[in-house]
Each structure stands twice: as structure tokens, then as C-alpha cells.
Amino acid sequence: MEKRTADHTIGVISDTHGLLREQAVDGLKGVDHIIHAGDIGNPEILDTLRDIAPLSVVRGNTDYGAWARGLPMTTVAEVGTVSIYVIHDILRLDLDPAAAGFVAVVFGHSHRPEMTDKNGVMYLNPGAAGPKRFDLPISIAHIEIDGESIRATHSKLDV
């Protein structure tokens, strides 16, 4: 990762499906916080991510077993002065993020890197970092926070 100039940097990963690539770990090193947007596939992945930075995580639709039952379906990552809503499947979003005061919504599920703005709220899908699916890239994302402003970038992993 490049030298940071932001107040806080968040590494965003999703859809590892049991495969945490070395390139993803390298891309997350040095961040202040990590968000995993579900479909983890293996609890050891969470241990590795927690060794890098504090972790916010949600359960995905393929996360089963005793280890996954304790994971929330949604969570709020509070980093610096901003609150980010995290959910695996954006189609299950059941609140108005702007009205609730969130600056961003992070989600996964589709495996497609995506970033849009709706009503002043950033919607960010980092894409999938696990096994290759169709012709979709293997990717993660980073969110940089400066005060109350945020910006995000996707990083395609060279695998």
C-alpha cells in the first residue's frame, strides 16, 4: 500500500470463501481498520485479519456452522468521526443510510467491485478476494477518511 496521508485508512474485503490470498493480506497491511463484508468461509481468516488491524465483520449467505452463528448480519464500523453500515447482501438493506447518519454502506455478495453515491452516501462493494469467479477481477478496496470526508479506491490483486 502507498504511504498514507489520510486521518484513517480502512481496508475492505469480501467474499473470501475460505481463501485469504497473500496478495490480499499484503494489500491490507498498514490500515487502521478492516471491514470484511461476509462470505468468509473459514474462521482462521478472521484471526489473520485481526492480527493486522481491528476488524468489523458480517456473516454472508455461505457462512455456516458454530463459528459463523455468532457473527452479525449487519454491523456498524465507527472509524474516526464516521459511521459505516456493513451488510453482506445490499438487497437486504432495510434502512435509509442517509437518514440514519451513515457516510457509507459496505457490502459484498455479487463479487463485482462497485462504487456509487446515493443521497450523499457512498455504496462500496470491494469485489471478491477469494476464488476466481467467471471473468470478475480479484480485488479489495480502501477507504480513506479525512475528518468527515471519505474517498475509496479499488485494488485489483495480481494473482
Strand partners, 56: 35
The Cα–Cα gap between 26 and 59 comes to: 23
pLDDT at res. 23: 98
> What are phi and psi for residue 11, nearest 5 degrees?
-90, 135
Residue 57 pairs with which residues in a beta bridge? 36
Considering the domain delimited by 8-156, tell me its CATH architecture. 4-Layer Sandwich (3.60)
pLDDT by position in tens, the chain (length 159):
445 578 999 999 999 999 999 999 999 999 999 999 999 999 999 999 999 999 999 999 999 999 999 999 999 999 999 999 999 999 999 999 999 999 999 999 999 999 999 999 999 999 999 999 889 999 999 999 998 889 999 999 998
pTM for the predicted model, two decimal places: 0.95
Residue type present at position 103:
V
Shortest CA distance to 17 belongs to which of 57, 69, 61?
61
Give me the pLDDT at residue 147, please: 87
| Rounded-to-integer distance, Cα 110 and Cα 22, Å | 22
CA end-to-end span of the chain, whole Å?
Answer: 16
**Side-chain half-sphere CA neighbours of 131 within 13 A:** 6
